[in-house]
Structure 1
Amino acid sequence: MRGSLVGTAVTLAAGAMLTAAMTTASASPPAATAPKAEPSQPVLVDCFWNRNVRPTDFILACGDGNSRLIGLHWTRWSPDTATAVGVNAVNDCKPYCAAGTFRSYRVTVRLDRPEPWKKHPDVLRYGRMSLTYEGARPDGFKNVVIYPLWD
């Protein structure tokens, strides 16, 4: 009999904790949303399919995060192009990526080729990004690197 009382008490306690957790989660305020672009202004789509306008940081390597743009300062965000300066932090992956070191390289970022976003055809998104390295750059990189942006 003692065993069934303990089992009942454990079941009731677990149910109470689950109810409390669900109530807390459902009572949470909605997550903050990224700033919306004006209808004629393209957006920059990130790894999580969020629309971004003038982001200060942007992950380039979505799979592992080993290349990202940080400290972006935008000087232009127009219907045709966007331009920023910042830093490309790149993992040198030496001796391998998990033990590698992030190195920082000054870059100018240029977005262009606005086109309708396949996921939301009424939204324009930039289709290409080019990075121009100011001085030092990661091993094997050219002075200007061009990336097609995901859709």
Structure 2
Amino acid sequence: MRELAMTKVAAVCAVATLAAAMGTASAAPAAAPSTAQSVAQRSVSPVLVDCFWKSQVRPADFILACGDGNSRLTALRWSHWHAGSAVAVGLNAVNDCRPYCAAGRFHSYPVVVRLDDPQPWEKQPEVQRYSRMTLTYPGDRPERVPRTVTYSLWD
């Protein structure tokens, strides 16, 4: 008899706990993010999305030619990485593909990299990602490449 009473007490406590938890959850409307939370989310610096759909912040290296890796940024040193833009200096290593890419040689050119135009990232819309990259070559540059070139970055 005592065992039956204990079982009933445990069952009543479990039901009461469950009802209290469900009542609290269903009675309270879903909280909208506070203004402070929204501002905090927006103030986080954007990311740079790489060829493998990974987010990066201040990467030392970055592949520009995802298909074959024949153009990449190396030795990047970032002077700033802010909500609106990021700037680095480094090298653009470009394969000359002579006589063909597999037999070609890489040549490195000093470059200034600017990222800007943050947009929501399709994979994670709450995260901003830089959507544009501008490369400026202060000296030598790859053949047939203008001194300044701007690329739209993938999403």
After TM superposition, is the score higher than 0.5? yes
After TM superposition, which residue ranges in structure 1, 4 or more long, deviate above 6 angstroms?
none
CA distance in 1: counterparts of 2:67 and 2:83, whole angstroms: 29
Deviations, residues 79-113 of structure 1 (Å, cap 9, x unaligned): 00000000000000011100000000000000000
Q: 1:76 aligns with which of 60, 76, 80?
A: 80
What is the TM-score when the length of structure 1 is the normalising length? 0.74
Closer, same or farther: CA 50–38 of 1 in aligned 2, 3 Å? farther
Question: 1:134: Cα distance to partner?
Answer: 1.5
- Counterpart residue identity of residue 104, structure 1: S
* Aligned-residue RMSD, C-alpha: 1.4
Kept after mapping to 1: 8 A contact 2:43/2:83: no
CA–CA separation in structure 2 for the residues paired with 1:111 and 1:129: 5
Among 110, 126, 131, the residue aligned to 2:135: 131
Q: What is the correspondence of 1:49-128 to structure 2 with a 5 Å cutoff?
A: 49-128=53-132
For residue 131 of structure 1, report the CA deviation from its aligned partner: 0.3
Structure of higher CA gyration radius:
2
Kindly indicate whether the alpha-carbon contact (under 8 Å) linking 1:39 and 1:123 is maintained by their aligned counterparts in 2: no
User: After the TM superposition, which residues 18-37 of structure 1 pair with which residues of structure 2 at under 5 Å, given as runs?
Assistant: none
Q: Which one-letter code corresponds to 2:143 in the other structure? A: D
> Per residue, is there more helix in 1 or in 2?
2
Aligned twin of 1:21: none
SS at match of 1:147: strand
* Bigger fraction of residues in strand: 1
Whole-angstrom CA distance in 1 between matches of 2:42 and 2:95: 35
TM-score, normalization: structure 2? 0.72
Unaligned runs of 5+ in 2: 1-40
Count matched residues: 115
Percent identical residues: 63
